[in-house]
Structure 1
Amino acid sequence: MSRYLVAIQEDEQKWIDMAEGANEALENHYRFNIARADAVIAGRALQPSSTATSLRADDTGGAAVTDGPFVETKEVLGGFYLIEAADDAEALEIAREVPAPFGGLEIRPVQDFGGPTRPPKEQADGLSSYVVLLYVDEARSATMTPEERQDLLARHGAFQAGHDASVLIGDALQQRRT
């Protein structure tokens, strides 16, 4: 089975205003989780984009911190599901059931680096959950040497190992298909 990220991109103001259809959509998410429990690995709704903080690499090798989402658009990442499916067709079949009344979905396969897949861990009581999204320059990523790619994978592995108590699940997405 392959893993896919189903990113829910919606007009968050409609959720904030609890626009018509919002309560029904919440109920439909609940029903989706029950109906697709065999495929859903993880899924969460996100706090409004106004609560986001972004880090961007700077020229000194550090990171500049800014308030707000990485990209400002009308439709923002409002939630996600990490699912397992046999192939792209099954992933799309499952994704069609995800309620997104105020926007749409992006379905991306998760990269398989050949290592063991770690099941998501349970969140410790009293802690808040955060989603850390890594934005990549796909043109630069496509030109990486095998050594650079291996170094990057090692650094991600070290990050997860160093923060094992905090990282519930982590995966890389495949590049967008054109």
Structure 2
Amino acid sequence: MRYMVMHKFDDRDTAAWKPTPEFMERMGAFIEEANKAGVLLAGEGLRPSSEGAATISVKDGKATVVDGPFAEAKEVIAGFAILQVRDRAEAVEWGTRFGALFDHVEIEVRRVAEFSDLA
């Protein structure tokens, strides 16, 4: 099963978006461990909404684009990983271990909808 693990930051907290060298070292070790375990399929950090973000809303076939920063949003997705794991419990375990890298963070773990699930 594939799961997406996402973490959120306060979009207005500039310090949260600037990782320290010590944090990057811990993150590198975590990524190496997940790679060795064979569970990490993809993972990336995202930039704050002030750096090139946009939302697209479609209503009645008409698209509206709003450029960042998103003043109305306090917390935004700051990064993600896609994991190939046995079950939800393993995904939550990896998500918990990932969350332990931070002093303060919210982690969301969601199962990826496979095409076969939608048929």
TM-score (norm 1): 0.55
In structure 2, give the amino acid aligned to 1:56: S
* Partner residue in 2 for 1:45: 45
Change (3 A) 1:102 1:64: same
| 1: CA distance, partners of 2:40 / 2:63 | 34
Q: Does 1:65 align with 2:65?
A: yes
* Partner residue in 1 for 2:3: 4
Once the two structures are TM-superposed, the CA of residue 26 in structure 1 deviates from its matched residue by 1.9
* Partner residue in 2 for 1:107: 109
The correspondence of residues 83-98 of structure 1 with structure 2, limited to 5 A, is: 83-98=83-98
Of the structure 1 ranges 77-86 and 66-75, higher mean CA displacement relative to structure 2 is found in 66-75
Q: What per-residue deviation string (whole Å, max 9, x for no partner) do you get for residues 92-130 of structure 1?
A: 111112134342110000112229xxxxxxxxxxxxxxx
* Partner residue in 1 for 2:25: 27
| 2: CA distance, partners of 1:45 / 1:83 | 15
Once the two structures are TM-superposed, the CA of residue 69 in structure 1 deviates from its matched residue by 6.4
The answer on whether the counterparts of 1:75 and 1:103 sit within 8 Å (CA) in structure 2 is no
| 2: CA distance, partners of 1:6 / 1:97 | 11
| 1: CA distance, partners of 2:114 / 2:71 | 27
SS at match of 1:47: coil
* TM-align CA RMSD: 2.4
Q: Which runs of 5+ in 1 are unaligned?
A: 116-148, 151-178
Q: Which runs of 5+ in 2 are unaligned?
A: none
The answer on whether the counterparts of 1:10 and 1:100 sit within 8 Å (CA) in structure 2 is no
Aligned residues: 112
Structure number with higher strand proportion: 2
Change (3 A) 1:71 1:90: farther
Identify the structure with bigger relative contact order (alpha carbons < 8 Å, sequence gap 6+): 2
The answer on whether the counterparts of 2:5 and 2:108 sit within 8 Å (CA) in structure 1 is yes
| 2: CA distance, partners of 1:76 / 1:32 | 22
List, as ranges, runs of 4+ consecutive aligned residues in structure 1 with deviation greater than 4 Å.
none
TM-score (norm 2): 0.80
Once the two structures are TM-superposed, the CA of residue 33 in structure 1 deviates from its matched residue by 0.7
| 1: CA distance, partners of 2:3 / 2:72 | 24
* Partner residue in 1 for 2:80: 80
